[in-house]
Amino acid sequence: MSPTQPNEWLLLERTVRFGEIDAAGVLHFHHLLRWCHEAWEESLERYGINAVDIFPSKLDVTDSLRVALPIIHCEADFRLPIKCGDHLLIRLEPQRIDVGSFQVRTKFQRDGQEVAIGLVRHLAIDSTTRERCDLPQDIDLWLEASSLNLGLRPV
């Protein structure tokens, strides 16, 4: 059963840890894209989609896992320094591009100020043939439900 309000799966929180900062005392750049992917995974789980049902492995490609969702584009913009101990609000903004691709813009805020934005774009491909295909039904439903996020407010 999926949550009824998009803010239940599109608004997350995170605290910056010591191991994520560099010698200059700010977030090491690669962590932002990792956070984007982890936030997407957590959003799917909160919505009711198990990671094991979306991410195929070579050992277990069943009919339901015939679609892989590789990242075909990613980018990150840092607006303000992100430091150890910062408590961040994370807002996901999923967008369907077409029947076989989507992107998730992830906005990071501290004390109401935007500190960074990440964007990750996925393409659906058949796990065996590596050809383009339609998105899995669960992802379609998540995207559709997420598009109802107008007026989304922190909880």
Backbone angles phi, psi at 12, to 5 degrees: -130, 175
Spatial CB neighbours of 124, under 8 Å, sequence gap ≥ 6: 67, 68, 69, 100, 101, 132, 133, 134, 135, 136, 139
Q: Is 22 one of the annotated active-site residues of the chain?
A: yes
Give the whole-angstrom CA distance, residue 31 versus residue 20: 7
Which listed residue (22, 77, 98, 126) is catalytic?
22
**Helix/strand/coil percentages in the chain, nearest 5:** 25, 35, 40
Active site residues: 22
